[in-house]
Amino acid sequence: MNLFISFVHHFTKMMSMDLKNCAFLILFAFLILCADFGACYARNSMPWRQSRIHLSSVMDKGHSSHHNHKKHNTPLAPAPAPKPKPKPPAPMPVPAPAPKPKPKPPAPAPMPVPAPLAPAPSHKNSTTFNVQDYGAKGDGQTDDMKAFLAAWAAACKVEASTILVPSGSIFLLSPISFAGPNCKPKIIFQLDGKIIAPTSAKAWGSGFLQWIEFTKLTEITIKGEGIIDGQGSVWWKDAAVYAGTDTSQNIPSTGQNRANELNNMVSTQISAELSKMPKTKPTALRFYGSTDVTVTGITIQNSPKMHLKFDSCTNVHVFDISVSSPGDSPNTDGIHLQNSQNVLIHSCNLACGDDCVSIQTGCSNIYIHDINCGPGHGISIGGLGNGNTRACVSNVTVRNTVMRNTMTGVRIKTLQGGSGSANNIMFSNIQVSEVETPIVIDQYYCDKEKCKNQTSAVAVSGITYANIQGTYTVQPVYFACSDNSPCTEISLATIQLKPHQTSHHLYGPFCWKTYGESKTSTVPPIDCLQKGNPSNAPSKIASCQV
């Protein structure tokens, strides 16, 4: 906790510094976080360095591809810093981050292989397994699933091997699982080409939970400049599955995203061919039960459902990836985390039809920074407590993130009847632009048409919002907490949210049963927080200790 506080403290200082100090600061923040998260990323020699190099190019790419430039320039300038004096950071205990133009990629495997175009060598001695050498056609029409599995079977037997999906080809894959647990560690899945999902109902049988799965692996990496394309549009129109809109009581639903969702549901009933697709929509890429997972460089697009999911994984590093699907594609979360710990996600462009990042139960020590989100529903924790379950989420930090045209900005949502807690969560330095509702806690979230009133709730406490600025189109702040389990220790600082010029039907800040304080004055004034603690303060953390 002390470390976390000191992180907050240093972060406020960081806000006042200029870009030249940025590399230094990122290292600094990384060290603090690493201390906080244990030695989780110590093994990767300075992964921040690599990500730093790629950051600007990824950002540029994202601006042109995902976000239409708005004619009006909303004031997205760096926030007025609470402390204007830049102070030199503390002495570093490690070698200074001398920016090398070409940092060595941390590829652990020696790759004594000739260029891919050379005549195929005998692979007996190689650590690289090209799927084309195992029969993959890459013509975009033949199902290459068996060839991929054959290449995987070979790569699996060799430590630090590389399975190569070469550029210049399109590989059609029916649902596939790259399974450990008997594989050697440190396998690299080098994705330079494009992988596409089948669109015929036949290929999906009675339905799959995911299209491409990596399961029970240690030190698994997916990298490259390739694309994973779920070709999801054939699924999106399927209205049979309820889209999970945000239908909680009070939240105004006038926004564009909501309208899109409704349109989508209507248009669906018309299209007949879809009824053939199975009800279960697959996640595009899922990691299950793995440790030390890295995903970098690739683009995941047009997933039928979620794009990238981690379930029961520890030590996850995701950076420099793009997610791209239309803003009205239902349930297409960008990155979804569940039962996973020590997760670092940064330098990503996430554009989709649901949460850019969603964090479900069982997650702790999650650090997310330098994300471009939009279109989408924002970054969300929850919905927690579905079906009266116990949910536990703690130690989540989201910072230096830009949201454009999203439904919410940063959101915590729980369902009535749940138990457990969400605590020690910080959202800082979030820039919003035309976001419907930038700050949301909703303990009445309902993902069905109707949810019944229940007394128990997932306790929400220790939530910090620092430096959240920009424009909203519906309501700046919406805190709807539980009567029986009010939100506690809600802290606001440097909130500056202005209505977007063309917005009508605006609502003021809303709080219900929300305890905490504003540490600074805010725009607009948020005076609905209650001081102190409620008499019925939930025993928050205890409910999640083992």
Ligand X SMILES: *[C@@H]1O[C@H](CO)[C@@H](O)[C@H](O)[C@H]1NC(C)=O
The residue behind tokens 């130690």 is 395
Active-site residue, selected from the candidate residues 354, 355, 370, 442: 354
Q: How far is the CB of 337 from ligand X (least distance, A)?
A: 14
Classified as helix, coil or strand, 308 is strand
Question: Read out DSSP for 339-379?
Answer: S-EEEEEEEEEEE-SS-SEEE-TTEEEEEEEEEEE-SBS-E
3-state SS track over 164-224: EECCCCEEECCCEEEECCCCCCCCEEEECCEEECCCCHHHHCCCCCEEEEEECCEEEEEEC
CB 236 within 8 A of CB 310: no
Q: How far is the CB of 37 from ligand X (least distance, A)?
A: 8
Nearer to ligand X, 6 or 267 (CB): 6
Q: How far is the CB of 483 from ligand X (least distance, A)?
A: 8
Q: Using CA atoms, how far apart are residues 310 and 359, in angstroms rounded to an integer?
A: 10
Active-site residue, selected from the candidate residues 317, 369, 377, 500: 377
Nearer to ligand X, 361 or 365 (CB): 365
Nearer to ligand X, 7 or 211 (CB): 7
Answer yes or no: 10 catalytic: no
Classified as helix, coil or strand, 311 is strand
Nearer to ligand X, 212 or 337 (CB): 337
- Torsions phi, psi of 303, nearest 5? -70, 145
Q: How far is the CB of 315 from ligand X (least distance, A)?
A: 13
Q: Using CA atoms, how far apart are residues 408 and 29, in angstroms rounded to an integer?
A: 26
Nearer to ligand X, 178 or 310 (CB): 310
Count CB-CB contacts under 10 A for residue 339.
17
Q: How far is the CB of 69 from ligand X (least distance, A)?
A: 40
Classified as helix, coil or strand, 318 is strand
User: How wide is the angle at C-alpha 232 spanned by C-alphas 227 and 237, nearest 5°?
Assistant: 160
CA distance to 148, 251, 441, 457, 461, per residue, from 248 (Å): 45, 6, 11, 15, 20
CB 238 within 8 A of CB 264: no
Alpha-carbon dihedral 430, 250, 504, 525, rounded to 10 degrees? -50
Nearer to ligand X, 182 or 453 (CB): 453
The tokens for 535 are 């008499």
Answer yes or no: 377 catalytic: yes
Torsion sign across C-alpha atoms 247, 248, 251, 252: positive
Count CB-CB contacts under 10 A for residue 358.
24
Q: How far is the CB of 321 from ligand X (least distance, A)?
A: 25
Nearest Cα to 274, choosing from 325, 195, 335, 330?
330
Nearer to ligand X, 54 or 184 (CB): 184
The tokens for 41 are 């990323």
Q: How far is the CB of 361 from ligand X (least distance, A)?
A: 12
Q: How far is the CB of 533 from ligand X (least distance, A)?
A: 21
Q: How far is the CB of 36 from ligand X (least distance, A)?
A: 5
The tokens for 241 are 């599955």
Nearer to ligand X, 452 or 531 (CB): 452
Instruction: Using CB under 6 A, list all residues that contact ligand X.
Output: 1, 3-4, 36, 125, 364-365, 394-395, 424, 452-453
The tokens for 342 are 């020590």
Query: Which residues carry out catalysis?
Result: 354, 377
